[in-house]
């Protein structure tokens, strides 16, 4: 294929640091001529863009296919949560209804009215649902995909959008087979049969190379729920890919590790904006009590990793264990309210050592490494944040393991 084009290089840069090559060059020039204060406005602008970038995922299909239940599963909410999408066996949605992620409010799942319902015929549906606003479409069915589903897929494709076929409530099919035949033990074979049948019918409807995911919104660890999320992640680009991963429910250690990798790429920006350390005498350092950027960064890590009180409460309820019992499985002062006192209790002073140029080259863009390894205050703050993220990641992994084992 030859060398990468300039647009590919920009995309690659943005995927790791949100900055174009031109912006990185400006950071270098500004820093060398006017110091760290001169680069802060651009970094603040990029963080604001990151926080304001919206991801809109539409969930559509006929009435009663489990759209609302799926949306709740993607947001990590039980149906009893006040913020949960309403679910039921009758049509509960009469217009597109958006549901924000409980902690990342720029991520929205949209429950679209069931196509083919009394109010929304197929033709009217395509014109009224404002298809262009959505980044991805998930078409859900509980049986074979119908003609209305095919029409939707073709319209979505015409708009240049990505769509995914999801066969929901798959556990109900398997339970029915077990009831009919108590000796039924061919689950994988039956799943393959259902998948092949769906794919074949879609091909007959001229849907080329369709992918069908068999899921249970109640048993997310089984079937194709994780595979669907991995496919969505692959198809999203740059910032939207990152915020999608950060919004995923913590179903496994693998997801926690993906979140860590993304958050680790945020650290240098927060370190640049977090100001001066109070004092830095070797390991006996102190922090200024009003270091809001540092605290905000750690709160962001905490929420993204599902360690804020609200996320832990939801996980505890799902696993059927007391919240305090779940918290007791980890030993870190970074649960609950984050303060400079809590950060100091971690004794990060012992870990605050000069980071090598090689480490910067690996963890950051080489240009950024050449800039910021010259600034001792940045280096100290960078290492504090890196140590805090490592601590929170380890805690999140423990919490997920305990909750999954209990569940």
Cα(108)–Cα(293) distance, integer angstroms: 26
Cα(317)–Cα(313) distance, integer angstroms: 6
Q: What is the pTM of this model?
A: 0.85
Q: Strand 97-100 relative to strand 136-141: parallel, antiparallel, unpaired?
A: unpaired
Do residues 348 and 388 make contact, with C-beta atoms less than 8 angstroms apart?
yes
Q: Phi/psi at 108 (nearest 5 deg)? A: -125, 135
3-state secondary structure of 146: coil
Q: Strand 107-111 relative to strand 97-100: parallel, antiparallel, unpaired?
A: antiparallel
Cα(347)–Cα(264) distance, integer angstroms: 20
Closest CA to 42 of 273, 369, 361: 273
Q: Which residues of the chain have pLDDT under 70?
A: 1-17, 88-94, 115-123, 126, 275-290, 347-376, 406-407
pLDDT one-digit tens code per residue, 148-185 = 888 888 888 888 889 999 999 999 888 888 888 777 77
Do residues 238 and 14 make contact, with C-beta atoms less than 8 angstroms apart?
yes
pLDDT number for residue 277 = 42
Do residues 138 and 60 make contact, with C-beta atoms less than 8 angstroms apart?
yes
Alpha carbon separation from 124 to 32, 121, 132, 155, 241 (Å, rounded): 59, 5, 15, 12, 32
pLDDT one-digit tens code per residue, 107-156 = 999 998 876 665 666 667 767 788 888 999 999 998 888 888 888 888 88
Classify 53-247 by CATH class.
alpha beta
pLDDT number for residue 360 = 52
Domain boundaries, the chain: 6-51+251-406, 53-247
């Amino acid at each position: 294929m030859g060398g990468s084009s300039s647009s590919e290089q920009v995309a690659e840069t943005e995927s790791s640091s949100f900055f174009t090559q031109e912006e990185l060059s400006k950071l270098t020039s500004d820093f060398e001529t006017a110091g760290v204060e001169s680069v802060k406005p651009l970094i603040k602008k990029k963080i604001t863009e990151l926080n304001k970038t919206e991801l809109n995922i539409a969930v559509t299909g006929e009435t009663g296919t489990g759209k609302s239940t799926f949306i709740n599963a993607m947001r990590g909410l039980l149906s009893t949560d006040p913020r949960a999408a309403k679910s039921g066996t009758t049509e509960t949605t009469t217009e597109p209804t958006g549901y924000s992620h409980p902690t990342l409010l720029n991520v929205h799942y949209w429950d679209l009215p069931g196509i083919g319902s009394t109010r929304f015929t197929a033709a009217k549906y395509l014109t009224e649902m404002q298809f262009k606003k959505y980044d991805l479409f998930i078409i859900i069915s509980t049986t074979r995909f119908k003609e209305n589903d095919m029409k939707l897929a073709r319209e979505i494709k015409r708009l240049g959008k990505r769509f995914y076929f999801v066969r929901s409530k798959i556990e109900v099919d398997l339970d029915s087979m077990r009831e009919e035949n108590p000796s039924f033990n061919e689950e994988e074979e039956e799943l393959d049969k259902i998948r092949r049948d769906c794919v074949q019918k879609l091909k007959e409807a001229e849907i080329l190379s369709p992918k069908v995911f068999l899921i249970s919104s109640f048993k997310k660890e089984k079937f194709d729920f994780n595979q669907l999320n991995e496919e969505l992640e692959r198809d999203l680009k740059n910032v939207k890919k990152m915020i999608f991963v950060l919004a995923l429910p913590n179903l496994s250690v693998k997801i926690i590790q993906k979140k860590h990798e993304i958050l680790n790429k945020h650290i240098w920006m927060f370190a640049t904006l977090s100001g001066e350390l109070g004092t830095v005498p070797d390991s006996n350092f102190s922090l200024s009590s009003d270091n809001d950027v540092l605290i905000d960064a750690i709160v962001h890590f905490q929420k993204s990793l599902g360690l804020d009180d609200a996320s832990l409460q939801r996980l505890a309820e799902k696993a059927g264990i007391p919240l305090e019992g779940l918290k007791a499985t980890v030993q870190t002062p970074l649960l609950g309210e984050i303060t400079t006192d809590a950060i100091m209790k971690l004794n990060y002073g012992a870990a605050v050592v000069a980071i090598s140029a090689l480490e910067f080259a690996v963890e950051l863009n080489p240009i950024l490494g050449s800039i910021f390894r010259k600034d001792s205050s940045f280096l100290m703050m960078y290492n504090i944040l890196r140590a805090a993220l490592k601590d929170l990641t380890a805690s999140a992994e423990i919490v997920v393991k305990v909750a999954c084992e209990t569940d």
